[in-house]
Structure 1
Amino acid sequence: MNVLSVLKERGFIEDLTHTEELEDYLTNNRATCYIGFDPTASSLHVGSLVCIMALAHMQRHGHRPIALVGGGTGLIGDPSGKTELRKIITMEQIDENKKGIQQQLSRFLDFSEDKALLLDNAQWLTKLEYIPFLRDIGRHFSVNRMIKAESYKARMDSEDGLTFIEFNYMLLQAYDFMRLADSYDCFLQMGGSDQWGNIVAGIDLVRRTLGKQAYGITFPLITTASGIKMGKTHKGAVWLDAQRFSPYEYYQFWVNADDADVERFLALFTFLPMEEINQVKDLEGVDLNKAKAILAYEATKICHGEDEALKAFQASVSMFGGIGVPEDLLSGSSIPRGTHSGANGDSVPSSSYNSDDIIAKLSVVDLFMGAELCKSKSDVRRLVKQGGAYINGSRVASFDQMIEKDDIHDGEILLRAGKKKYHKIILN
């Protein structure tokens, strides 16, 4: 099965260009493909995972992926999918962010011996001369056609409108594609569905300037079964950086997936065989929860390594009890099988306090907000009123309850919000 069939089967494809020619190209060539990544933060997040996993599948099928960091375009900002002007960042910030992005991508892609490349379009975009660029590149673009692109229409209809600096973005991304095609024989660009107009523009520019055929693939915007954009939690984005979002929290994000999303997420965010994943559709209740544990374990293993996945699994067992994953369920997974209990909870998010600063001085609201289990005092009040706030397994009775010596067990206080959100307070 070629890589295009794999991507289709696993739910990656929303649209593509030149269907038959692309299939033939990927079947009979060692193709080079690329996806652009926005360097506006030092970490990518779960919303980028579809793109990252697609590159990983390409590499696993013998093709060469390029992760193109937008160091040049990041100085402008892509208007695609945005209703307001992006904040302009400095080259120093971009350089720092690139380091974090490369470190995260290295978990998914093998960059050794040029099996994958990490490039920065600042290498060529910051050296462009304006008049030659307009003469050689700009003349190939129709303004009438450009303003019909969804990425531009959304901004033009917004209150702030579309700035001239953003209007140039399509030209710059198309130029990226042309440069990669010319210098690296890269003739396939992939990206989110909001990139369709930019990708098509690049294909057209490659044809006009190099006389060669290029291709494009777009991926769907992934939302949960409840319609929420993928990767959003009460804390905000689900970052791939362990310092921003711990491996335990990452594991819990996946294990808390909606029942209706489990089969789809296994196909998109793990490398488990589809013949195993297809069996999940018939599972319910406890058996489906075991499949969620495998989803969480495999996703965490890919992003943070098997050691961290195992720690997160053990911490989850410590908090919620053993689940008993059977040998024949998604057997391609390396998750520990059988019933497990009593593992340590070292991977549970924690905070350190001085005993003198907490006993009889801090209230329940202080701790729950400090642990980021709740965003505001009203959230804590609501949680307590609904009976969802716990200290060491005991339900909190009063919103203004103070922390006392009896709340400390073995130098720790275990907080719980609802059924599945834990935080450990470690006292010095």
Structure 2
Amino acid sequence: MTDILDELHWRGLIALSTDEEALRAALAAGPVTYYCGFDPTAPSLHIGNLVQILTVRRLQLAGNDPLALVGGATGLIGDPKMTAERTLNDRDTVAGWVERIRKQIEPLLDFDGPHPARMVNNLDWTAQLSAIDFLRDIGKHFRVSRMLSKETVSARLGSEQGISFTEFSYQILQGMDYLELHRRYGCVLQTGGSDQWGNLTSGVDLIHRVERRSVHAVATPLVTKADGTKFGKTEIGTVWLDPEMTSPYAFFQFWMNADDRDVIGYLKVFSFRDRDEIGSLEQELVQRPAARGAQRALAEDVTSLVHGADETAKVVAASRALFGMGALEELDAGTLKAALDEAGAPELQAGEELPTYVDLFMSAGLVDSRSAARRAIGDGGAYVNNVRLDPGTAADARAQRDELLHGRWLVLRRGKRTVGGVEIGPA
């Protein structure tokens, strides 16, 4: 590997740093112990958090020692948002989220190699800390004028909502985390998103004041989309790492749908492909954009990282089968349901007799009218479960219950590319 900072720059992963030349020297003399924090403010991490986890992994692969902090303490407060106060969650809820998030991070780092990762929880050093000790030992090193200058704090102060002392104090807690990890493990580098820069530098300043030592911070840029919409959001909401909150099929499709203008940048950030591989995919994108080879490589890489190779294989099989390039009958019920949910398949109630094929195509949104459904069938371009409907007889025919996949679903297709489906309730 090239110098790790050069690699991170090439991947577009350094937006801000405290003293890059000093950090470069420290990394060259390595190994460096570093950390990144993740707050349990939801039951799952999302793909924005994945930027940080994979940056931690890149530094680990370069021969450094990572600490992954899941904030059992800071998660009880929550990092201040630009808009309004966070809803405070109870202790049992946050403790449960800590364990869920630990399990999401662990498969993405190496805990057994020459530079094993270590999971830490900031509740371990804050739970027994009294308010008086916190104010005397930590709070006295923070200057209110500097705290007020933090972007999120200043934005909230000027808003109608204002900011509570609880959220205002968050940067002190994060600074204390860095100090504690520096004392316990010799940690000298913290990474995080650029929106966390004020919190990152709080720790750097605190260690300098208390220990009289210089440490480092590096911030990654916020990932953006070329069309101006928010990265990591879809019509159904946030793209989560938890398969129960975002199915592996929907997760895969999010990456497959990446804009041509974005996909190479995403490959650099979210995959471990090297410069030559990404360069080849970029060339293919220019020469054959319709093939979507870069998007497919991205989707397969990231889905395999998060959900595993077996789950990715199921998703790929489902994607192919929906478009007539594989056997729908071989898909398990969960994967088929996820694929049809992503296609927007409605659930229909039916008695002993199922709707006509014309009505099914209307219900699935594949045509605008009954006459359009009849034309699609009559022209030989209508398929149910990848079987072409008879142009001469199917327009007035009804679907049969023995056609239902797993007793519940029909996959409908108009032409080669327009896919939908329906879920039929019990009689």
User: What TM-score range do you get, normalising by the shorter chain?
Assistant: 0.7 to 0.9
Paired residues of 1:225 and 1:258 also in contact (CA < 8 A) = yes
1:105 aligned partner, one-letter code: I
Quick one: structure 1 residues 4 and 383, their matched pair in 2 at CA, closer, same or farther if it must change by over 3 Å? farther
1:188 aligned partner, one-letter code: L
Shift of 1:207: 1.2
2:310 aligned partner, one-letter code: D
Q: Within 1, Cα distance between the matches of 2:294 and 2:350? A: 41
- Counterpart in 1 of 2:379? none
The 10-residue stretch of structure 1 (346-355 or 88-97) with the greater mean CA deviation from structure 2: 346-355
Q: SS in structure 2 opposite 1:97?
A: helix
Residues 274-313 of structure 1, C-alpha deviation per residue, up to 9 Å, x if partnerless? Answer: 1210233332344650221111111111111111111111
Of 399, 408, 412, the match for 1:405: 399
Stretches of structure 1 that go unaligned for 5 or more consecutive residues are 323-340, 369-379, 396-402
* The structure with more radius of gyration: 2
Residues 320-373 of structure 1, C-alpha deviation per residue, up to 9 Å, x if partnerless? Answer: 366xxxxxxxxxxxxxxxxxx557444331589886499469x879976xxxxx
Q: SS in structure 1 opposite 2:281?
A: helix
- Counterpart in 1 of 2:411? 414
Quick one: structure 1 residues 312 and 213, their matched pair in 2 at CA, closer, same or farther if it must change by over 3 Å? same
Q: SS in structure 2 opposite 1:35?
A: strand
1:256 aligned partner, one-letter code: N
Listed as ranges, the matches of 1:17-416 within 5 Å are 17-79=18-80, 81-112=81-112, 115-282=116-283, 283-284=285-286, 285-286=288-289, 289-320=292-323, 344-346=330-332, 347-348=335-336, 349=338, 356=351, 359=354, 384=368, 392=384, 405=399, 409-411=403-405, 412-414=409-411
Shift of 1:77: 1.8
- Counterpart in 1 of 2:423? 425
The 10-residue stretch of structure 1 (106-115 or 32-41) with the greater mean CA deviation from structure 2: 106-115
Stretches of structure 2 that go unaligned for 5 or more consecutive residues are 342-346, 377-381, 390-396
Q: SS in structure 1 opposite 2:403?
A: coil
Quick one: structure 1 residues 77 and 366, their matched pair in 2 at CA, closer, same or farther if it must change by over 3 Å? farther
- Sequence identity, in percent? 37
Q: Within 1, Cα distance between the matches of 2:353 and 2:41? A: 38
When normalised by structure 1's length, the TM-score is: 0.81
Residues 111-150 of structure 1, C-alpha deviation per residue, up to 9 Å, x if partnerless? Answer: 3478112211111122221222222221211111111110
Q: Within 2, Cα distance between the matches of 1:76 and 1:127? A: 17
Quick one: structure 1 residues 173 and 422, their matched pair in 2 at CA, closer, same or farther if it must change by over 3 Å? farther
Q: Aligned-pair RMSD on alpha carbons?
A: 3.3
Quick one: structure 1 residues 366 and 99, their matched pair in 2 at CA, closer, same or farther if it must change by over 3 Å? farther
Quick one: structure 1 residues 273 and 229, their matched pair in 2 at CA, closer, same or farther if it must change by over 3 Å? same
1:413 aligned partner, one-letter code: L
Shift of 1:423: 5.5
Quick one: structure 1 residues 355 and 185, their matched pair in 2 at CA, closer, same or farther if it must change by over 3 Å? farther
Residues 243-274 of structure 1, C-alpha deviation per residue, up to 9 Å, x if partnerless? Answer: 21121111111111101111111111110111
Q: Within 2, Cα distance between the matches of 1:270 and 1:70? A: 26
Paired residues of 1:10 and 1:274 also in contact (CA < 8 A) = no
Paired residues of 1:414 and 1:425 also in contact (CA < 8 A) = no
Shift of 1:236: 0.4
Q: Within 2, Cα distance between the matches of 1:223 and 1:266? A: 13
Paired residues of 2:70 and 2:102 also in contact (CA < 8 A) = no
The 10-residue stretch of structure 1 (306-315 or 293-302) with the greater mean CA deviation from structure 2: 306-315
Paired residues of 1:182 and 1:210 also in contact (CA < 8 A) = no
